[in-house]
Amino acid sequence: MLSVYDPYDDVFGHFSKTRVALNHLVSELRPEFGFENDTAVQQALAHALDVCRMLHIPIKNHFRRVFLYSNTGLETDWLLSDLGAYLLLMNAGHRNYYTARAQLYPFFRT
User: Whole-prediction pTM value?
Assistant: 0.77
pLDDT tens-place string over residues 21-35: 999 999 999 999 999
For 1-58, strand residue ranges (E) read 24-25
Residue pLDDT, tens place only, 30-77: 999 999 899 999 999 999 999 999 999 999 999 999 999 888 888 899
Report the pLDDT value the prediction gives residue 22, as an integer from 0 to 100: 94
Strands 24-25 and 73-80: antiparallel
Class of residue 62 by CB neighbours under 10 A (exposed 0-12, middle 13-18, buried 19+): buried
pLDDT at 18 over 70: no
